[in-house]
Structure 1
Amino acid sequence: MRSIKRIALLCGVSALLSPLAHADNWQVAKDEEGVKVSLSEVAGSKYKAYKGETLIKAPLAKVAAVQEDVAGACAWIHECKSQKLLKHEGDLTWTYTQFNTPVMVTPRDSVLRITTSTGADGSITRKIEEDPAYLPEEKGFVRVTKVEGFWKLVPQGDNTWVTYQVHTEPGGSVPSWLANKFVVDAPFNTLKHLRERVEQR
């Protein structure tokens, strides 16, 4: 699928926050401007999983086209500094992403493996997993070593329902206030800005 190679790059932002199978009991943390964010405790982790949902008033193909704009991706992905495609092989894609962080926190980077599948209803699901050893560590960055999540795009006539769900162990020392802020801001801002970019085209 042509879209697999570049769409996967958008998944890099997920790495700033493992097991989603243990994320349940979702509680709504923010529901504004057409974007709903829910959080869930994850057994054995001090970091919460997040789930963002929104309706984009555009067909799935148009959403996918915006996601394929690698050069412009960091304009709508929360705290994305840079990202690049490492490898594409069949339904698998590897990406490398660097993130912005406050001055008191060492910048994070991540290597992700994304598995893309298409449902019978035309939906697209991208499973996100960490693959930290794929590249040597970069000086000045803390490599994120635990990521699990997915993007799901579901066609609804001329519209697209988008779900973005992730849990991450960011590694190193991260202040609790920053972690708590991130799990709300990341899905909210990412989905809001993606929707704006798609609907304004």
Structure 2
Amino acid sequence: MSLLPTLSLLVLLTGAAEPAWQQVTRDDGIIVQARTPEGGSVSEVKATALVDAPPQDVWRVIRDYNNYTKTMPYTEESRVLASEQDGKVIVFHCLVNAPLVDKRDFIIRIVDDSDWKEGKGFLKTSWTVTTQGAPPEKEGVVRVKLNNGYWLLEPREEGKKTFVTYYLYTDPGGSLPKWIADRANKTSVPDVLRAVRKYSTRK
């Protein structure tokens, strides 16, 4: 009996294989990988690093949304618009002022997907764009329509350190050429992870 029908069925059920991640840079203890999804015009970007701080310390920095103007690169405005389910769901607005391009802002719905108990498991927060509670668009500020991502924190060395994964898939929009947007994403992702590492390990 031929295996071809079975293999064809498996392909249909599981979908086509996703593109492989390719390493872009490895610097300052941070590994950056990228891949372009099927039909996509910009790359998904993922950065990983081992941070010399417990997961709870890293988590506090990531979740301190109202202070992103102090901790996150290029952040000009940041505020929580809504908090639901005892903080498990957050609606967040952020305005970014990066060099050489128009300002961008986005509104995202952030969900706590953690599986964490007594220092074991993982801490995870993921997000997608939302229009919930969105403030009016401002002149001279491009509203970002695609912004998906997550932070994943996994304990290492008996919880004294954290293996951090930061994933982002976003299109800055506007008139920015796609290749410039792609390059900007590959630069900004490690910059953000570097900032989180800095404030997580600050004594």
Q: TM-score, normalised by structure 2?
A: 0.79
Partners of 2:126 and 2:190 lie apart in 1 by 19
SS at structure 2 position matched to 1:108: strand
Deviation at 1:117, TM superposition (A): 1.9
Distance 1:23 1:195, change over 3 A: farther
After TM superposition, list the pairs within 5 Å mapping 1:119-198 onto structure 2.
Answer: 119=115, 121-132=120-131, 134-135=133-134, 136-156=136-156, 157=158, 158-198=160-200
SS in 1 for 2:186: helix
Structure 1: segments with no counterpart, 5+ residues: 1-21
Task: Give unmatched runs, 5+ long, in structure 2.
Answer: 1-16
Q: What do you get for the CA RMSD once the two structures are aligned? A: 2.2
Deviation at 1:183, TM superposition (A): 1.9
1:68 is displaced (CA, Å) by 4.3
| Partner-residue secondary structure (3-state), 2:201 | helix
Asked whether the equivalents of residues 151 and 162 of structure 1 are also in contact (C-alpha less than 8 Å), the reply is yes
Counterpart code for 1:153: L
Q: CA deviation at 1:124?
A: 1.2
Question: Which structure would you say has the larger Rg?
Answer: 2
Compare 189-198 and 130-139 and name the one that shifted more.
Answer: 130-139
**In 2: Cα distance, 1:116 partner to 1:197 partner:** 21
Q: Could you say which residue in structure 2 is the equivalent of 1:93?
A: 90
Report the 3-state secondary structure (helix = DSSP H, G, I; strand = E; otherwise coil) of the residue aligned with 2:113.
Answer: strand
Residue in 1 aligned with 2:31?
36
TM-score norm. by structure 1 comes to 0.80
Which residue in the other structure is 1:17 paired with?
none
1:51 aligns with 2:46: yes
* Distance apart, 1:23 and its partner CA: 6.0
Distance 2:18 2:167 in 1: 10
Q: Which residue of 2 aligns with 1:102?
A: 99
1:71 is displaced (CA, Å) by 5.6
State the one-letter code of the partner of 1:100.
Answer: N
1:134-179 CA-partner distances (Å, limit 9, x unpaired): 3132232111111211111112221111111011122221134531
Equivalent residue, structure 2, for 1:26: 21
Match of 1:114 in 2: 110
Hey, what's the Cα distance between the residues in 2 that align with 1:152 and 1:67?
A: 10
Cα gap change, 1:57 to 1:102, in 2 (>3 Å): closer
Structure-2 separation of matches of 1:69 and 1:126: 13
Distance 1:72 1:127, change over 3 A: closer
How many residues were matched structurally?
A: 180
Change (3 A) 1:133 1:58: closer
Q: Which has the higher contact order (CA 8 A, sep 6+)?
A: 1
Q: 1:133, CA displacement in angstroms? A: 5.5
Whichever residue aligns with residue 161 of structure 1, its letter is F
Structure-2 separation of matches of 1:67 and 1:114: 11
SS class of match (1:78): coil
